[in-house]
Chains A and B, each alone.
Chain A
Amino acid sequence: MSSPLLGIEGGGQANASMESGFPKNPTFTERNYLGLSDCSSVDSSNVPSPCLNLKATELRLGLPGSQSPDRDPESSLTSSEKLDEKPLFPLLPSIDGICSSSTKTVVSGHKRIFTDAMDSCSEIKGLSDGSWLSAASGSDSDPSKSVIQGKFSTNSNVKGNVSSGDQVAKGVTTNLNKVNASNPPAAKAQVVGWPPVRSFRKNILATSSKNNDEVDKKPCSAALFVKVSMDGAPYLRKVDLRGYSSYQQLSSALEKMFTCFTIGQCGSQGGPGKGNLSESKLRDLLHGSGYVLTYEDKDGDWMLVGDVPWDMFIGSCKRLKIMKGSDAIGLAPGATEKSKNRS
């Protein structure tokens, strides 16, 4: 099968053992990939020998654009075109430390390797340098933590604000070598799926607390998930309306979500402000892109989105639908006559 390809760096003997071992040997020996196998019966040539340490292709774990201590400083990059030369799995620089220390020592047993690695790690400037001991809740002043958190807040964004690959790479690169105190973790922002409480439970409590006089009324900030369907799309999505504060945001989020299904799309030009997706804008959509955003309100009627102030909208919206413009004629904003359009 693929054995010749895999045995290349390991030397001739490894090659042979790979070729013979690959189809015939049915058992899998667990290996410590951060160092060496502890099976004495295994070829020692399976151990990557230090002299074959090809720096340029050496697997490191560091973030794109990261500098690890051994690395040529010139290869510290910020431009995306050079990212291709980067190590294959560039993640945490600290793992880098584990990598290089373990190739030097021959040890048996997994735990010792990791302990050694952990010890050497703490000397290397990196993310597991023990600074977590001082990290207070939600602390973002820890520079090493901030990279991860910055990354995670990008990843943990409310659905719809999905980071593209470029964004991730750039964001991480810029974060890396600076003290990034201005990048707080997603502490106060709502993270998708956190805390792990079912959606129906969140919605129910929201309405329950409104009804019950005995419970202190707080501004209701529970998530409000509604389904979004689109004509012609094979499946529907859910969005949390409380994750947005304007029609503008909702519109662009939905556009991102459904672009793969659509040629024309809901426009995302800047509107004059909150809740002001103007009549003319909607008409542009109707005539231009071919798709409009509609919603089913509490009474079961289908209305054009953008009609009412945002807060009123999220209070009455039960679900959303991206319709073809031609189907939505008759749902003009401000129309008193309610349309009978149903999906």
Chain B
Amino acid sequence: MFPEEVLEHVFSFLNSHTDRNTASLVCKSWYEMERWCRKRVFIGNCYAVNPRVVIRRFPEVKSVELKGKPHFADFNLVPEGWGGYVYPWIVEIARAYPWLEEIRLKRMVVTDECLEIVAKSFRNFRVLVLESCEGFSTDGLAAVAANCRNLRVLDLRECEVEELSGHWLSHFPDSFTSLESLNMACLGSEVSFSALERLVARSPNLKTLRLNRTVPIEKLSTLLQRAPQLVDFGTGAYSAEIRQDVYSRLADAFSRSKNLKSLSGFWDVTPAYLPAIYSVCSQLTSLNLSYAATRSPDLTKIVSQCYNLQRLVVLDYIEDTGLNTVSMSCKDLRELVVFPSDPFVGEVDVLLTEQGLVSVSQGCSKLQSVLYFCHQMSNSALISISKNRPNLTCFRLCIIEPRVPDYVTHEPLDVGFGSIVENCKQLTRLSMSGLLTDRVFEYIGTHAKNLDMLSIAFAGDSDLGLHHVLSGCDSLRKLEIRDCPFGDKALLANASKLEKMRSLWMSSCLVSFGACKLLGQKMPGLNVEVIDERENVNSLPEYVPVEKVYIYRTVSGQRFDTPDFVRIMGKDKDDLFSDKGLKVAVLFCSNFGTFRPCCCTRSRSL
């Protein structure tokens, strides 16, 4: 038995949440020791647990990370008002953790009031990261700027902010010098440039600066000169009339930025200004040109000089030729993201095909993560990719047209994706598209043993597909499905699996109200949320499929902040004894045998 001090010291080396959770399960004293010294808490689903429970268990927390809405909220599949409010959390942690330093939120609704509470409650507050959040305005940002004397990081990633004015930036007091990272790229309003310049000038530790679109290209050189220590820089709108003096100053400023490793921004690119960055290309490990609507030759010239690039985010304007250059020049590439320039056009004008991805998979031996939008794919290409890159951990392929088969053989892409899961044994994340039958799910269930997150759309033939996934994928924690013919059977047959996952999303599938209710009744550890906006939803028969269902495990029971189009099914005790409930139960059991609820031990650590 180790003395506490030794245990505490040992635990201080455990940084991952998984490790900490595991350690806490060893024995009671380890549980106790661990909970007192845990400094960072990560809650992947804000509705899985109650803030008070968290606070009671972990009294000494310095950093809280929360996630709210399901991933498909990014694509407008979760109606506004669904939930994900951070306010109840903020109120509790403001009371309990006066020395909290960091808050990271993803897909949550954050109000100005929340930001004001944050600004005023934590004396040593240092890091605020809001990713894909909404509900606040620039007033909230002003409160943070004005009050957080020790703020180091203000990172607004792809948030929807109500822009009342750009004046918020000027609220950082003159005495404020601790800024290390500022990302305001998602904001639309213009900030006072002089305030920005002064802020940059008095922040010697500033490493990350991502401007928004309103900062003109002419001003970039000024900022770069003020912050030669910058590592991560995001430009504003990268366009202007072509002027030699502006260009020279800019090129010069870039060439002096010896520490720059990451570039982004580049809205509204004027191609003539792109060569200004050539001098830093060989330093770059990360380059995001996904707003640069410029053609392949310009993009190719840039990437051909990025010998140390590890992460490339680009539009399909790069085309196969550009990706071929990437495969030859960027030998250290780990992550490739290719977005569609024009996702809704029928005819394909851009010469980006599956070939681009195949060549990168051939040339870039360290490639681990792919997000690729294209218009055509073949099984043989997928097989090649899987054989070239068995070290892939994240493979997300979006063929823009739903249900498109192999363009060469006209067969489904089952075999291709099957090859991916079979060869890439470390695959943790997979998104599929194109024409897919139940067969692909059989492959996935058989081979994808490390798969953590799976996204499926317009695929499959029957419940068999879903059953393969739920019964076969041992590590699966997040499953999101849309527009697939998966229904009640597979879901109910694998009810116990759902308690081992974080969440399951199914929209435009064939899951009925009755099944959702039954699942909710029988599984007290799950919230089964039916999200259905139809006017007459209360009068629909129970066999009718729901629009959307979101199922997640929880120890905090049902939530009470739901709008009228969200129903948490089966938690009302009356349901079970009503006529309808009885009929559901009886009919179900007559064919499937008895249905025992899952009473597995609740050893779920937080």
Query: Which residues of A does B touch, CB under 8 Å?
Result: 1-2, 5-10, 14, 17-18, 21-22, 25-34, 36-37, 46-48, 52, 54, 57-59, 61, 64, 83-84, 86-92, 94-95, 98-99, 103, 110, 114, 117-118, 121, 127-128, 132-133, 135-138, 148, 152, 155-156, 159, 162-166, 168-169, 185-188, 190-202, 204-205, 208-209, 211-212, 214-216, 218, 221-223, 225, 227, 234-238, 240, 256-257, 259-260
Known interface pairs A166-B536, A195-B400, A221-B344; A33-B541 also in contact (CB < 8 Å) = no
A132 CB → nearest B CB, Å:
5
Contact of B293 (CB < 8 Å), options: A164, A205, A223: A205
Docked-complex contact A34 and B489, CB < 8 angstroms:
yes
Confirm or deny: B560 has a beta carbon within 8 angstroms of a beta carbon on chain A.
Answer: no
B410 contact set on A, CB distance < 8 A: 136
Docked-complex contact A159 and B76, CB < 8 angstroms:
yes
Question: Which of B36-44, B246-254, B263-271, B354-362 contacts its partner?
Answer: B263-271
Confirm or deny: B102 has a beta carbon within 8 angstroms of a beta carbon on chain A.
Answer: no
Confirm or deny: B585 has a beta carbon within 8 angstroms of a beta carbon on chain A.
Answer: yes
B533 contact set on A, CB distance < 8 A: 162, 257
Between A114, A199, A221, the greatest number of chain B beta carbons within 10 A of the residue's beta carbon is seen for: A114
B512 contact set on A, CB distance < 8 A: 88-89, 91
Docked-complex contact A238 and B535, CB < 8 angstroms:
no
Docked-complex contact B535 and A90, CB < 8 angstroms:
no
Interface of B is mostly: loop
Closest chain B residue to A8, Cβ basis: B586
B387 CB → nearest A CB, Å:
25
A62 CB → nearest B CB, Å:
10
Docked-complex contact B536 and A164, CB < 8 angstroms:
yes
Contact of A30 (CB < 8 Å), options: B267, B496, B540, B544: B496
A192 to B483, CA, bound (A): 11
A288 to B290, CA, bound (A): 49
Docked-complex contact A193 and B405, CB < 8 angstroms:
no
A106 to B431, CA, bound (A): 37
Closest chain B residue to A137, Cβ basis: B404
Docked-complex contact A54 and B75, CB < 8 angstroms:
no
A159 contact set on B, CB distance < 8 A: 76
Confirm or deny: B26 has a beta carbon within 8 angstroms of a beta carbon on chain A.
Answer: no
A58 to B586, CA, bound (A): 10
Known interface pairs A48-B593, A88-B514, A132-B437; A164-B586 also in contact (CB < 8 Å) = no
Known interface pairs A7-B594, A205-B293, A236-B80; A211-B268 also in contact (CB < 8 Å) = yes
A127 to B461, CA, bound (A): 7
Docked-complex contact A137 and B403, CB < 8 angstroms:
yes
Docked-complex contact B340 and A197, CB < 8 angstroms:
yes
Contact of B340 (CB < 8 Å), options: A33, A92, A156, A195: A195
> What mask results when residues 439 to 483 of chain B are scored 1 for a CB within 8 Å of chain A, else 0?
000000000000000010110011110010001000000000011
Known interface pairs A29-B596, A195-B340, A235-B81; A92-B487 also in contact (CB < 8 Å) = yes
Known interface pairs A166-B536, A238-B80; A91-B483 also in contact (CB < 8 Å) = no
List the 6 shortest-distance A-B pairs measured between CB atoms, nearest first: A235-B81, A193-B75, A165-B540, A9-B590, A33-B592, A155-B508
Contact of A61 (CB < 8 Å), options: B339, B489, B586: B489
A261 CB → nearest B CB, Å:
9
Contact of A28 (CB < 8 Å), options: B431, B467, B600: B600
Q: How many residues of B contact A (CB 8 A)?
A: 110
A301 CB → nearest B CB, Å:
16
B586 contact set on A, CB distance < 8 A: 5-6, 8-9, 57
A31 to B593, CA, bound (A): 9
Confirm or deny: B294 has a beta carbon within 8 angstroms of a beta carbon on chain A.
Answer: yes
Docked-complex contact B72 and A193, CB < 8 angstroms:
yes
A143 to B74, CA, bound (A): 34
Q: Which residues 501-556 of B have a CB within 8 angstroms of A?
A: 508, 510, 512, 514-515, 533-537, 539-545, 547
Docked-complex contact A57 and B587, CB < 8 angstroms:
yes
B486 CB → nearest A CB, Å:
9
A-B contacts, 13 listed (Cβ < 8 Å):
A10-B589, A14-B593, A37-B593, A46-B593, A48-B592, A64-B543, A133-B412, A156-B483, A165-B536, A165-B544, A211-B268, A225-B76, A234-B563
Contact of A192 (CB < 8 Å), options: B76, B401, B582, B590: B76
B585 contact set on A, CB distance < 8 A: 2, 5-6
Closest chain B residue to A114, Cβ basis: B464
- Besides A22-B596, A92-B462, A196-B74, 10 new A-B residue pairs in contact (Cβ under 8 A), listed by A number: A28-B600, A30-B496, A31-B592, A34-B489, A94-B461, A128-B461, A164-B534, A196-B75, A212-B294, A215-B295
A103 contact set on B, CB distance < 8 A: 591
Confirm or deny: B584 has a beta carbon within 8 angstroms of a beta carbon on chain A.
Answer: yes
Confirm or deny: B398 has a beta carbon within 8 angstroms of a beta carbon on chain A.
Answer: yes
Docked-complex contact A88 and B186, CB < 8 angstroms:
no
Confirm or deny: B408 has a beta carbon within 8 angstroms of a beta carbon on chain A.
Answer: no
Docked-complex contact A137 and B590, CB < 8 angstroms:
no
B197 CB → nearest A CB, Å:
26
B271 contact set on A, CB distance < 8 A: 214
Docked-complex contact A196 and B398, CB < 8 angstroms:
yes
A155 to B485, CA, bound (A): 12
Confirm or deny: B601 has a beta carbon within 8 angstroms of a beta carbon on chain A.
Answer: yes
A58 contact set on B, CB distance < 8 A: 590-591
Confirm or deny: B373 has a beta carbon within 8 angstroms of a beta carbon on chain A.
Answer: yes
Docked-complex contact A48 and B591, CB < 8 angstroms:
yes
Q: Which residues 53-93 of B have a CB within 8 angstroms of A?
A: 72, 74-77, 79-81
A89 to B407, CA, bound (A): 36
B167 CB → nearest A CB, Å:
16
Docked-complex contact A197 and B343, CB < 8 angstroms:
yes
B138 CB → nearest A CB, Å:
15
Docked-complex contact A221 and B589, CB < 8 angstroms:
no
Docked-complex contact B594 and A6, CB < 8 angstroms:
yes
Q: Which residues 330-345 of B have a CB within 8 angstroms of A?
A: 339-345
Confirm or deny: B435 has a beta carbon within 8 angstroms of a beta carbon on chain A.
Answer: yes
Confirm or deny: B346 has a beta carbon within 8 angstroms of a beta carbon on chain A.
Answer: yes
A84 to B483, CA, bound (A): 25
Docked-complex contact B349 and A128, CB < 8 angstroms:
no
Docked-complex contact B344 and A205, CB < 8 angstroms:
no
Docked-complex contact B541 and A6, CB < 8 angstroms:
no
Docked-complex contact B398 and A25, CB < 8 angstroms:
no
Docked-complex contact B594 and A199, CB < 8 angstroms:
no
Confirm or deny: B564 has a beta carbon within 8 angstroms of a beta carbon on chain A.
Answer: yes
B487 contact set on A, CB distance < 8 A: 61, 89, 91-92, 95
Confirm or deny: B588 has a beta carbon within 8 angstroms of a beta carbon on chain A.
Answer: yes
Known interface pairs A156-B508, A209-B293, A223-B344; A165-B457 also in contact (CB < 8 Å) = no
Docked-complex contact B482 and A193, CB < 8 angstroms:
yes
Q: Which residues 566-584 of B have a CB within 8 angstroms of A?
A: 576-577, 582-584
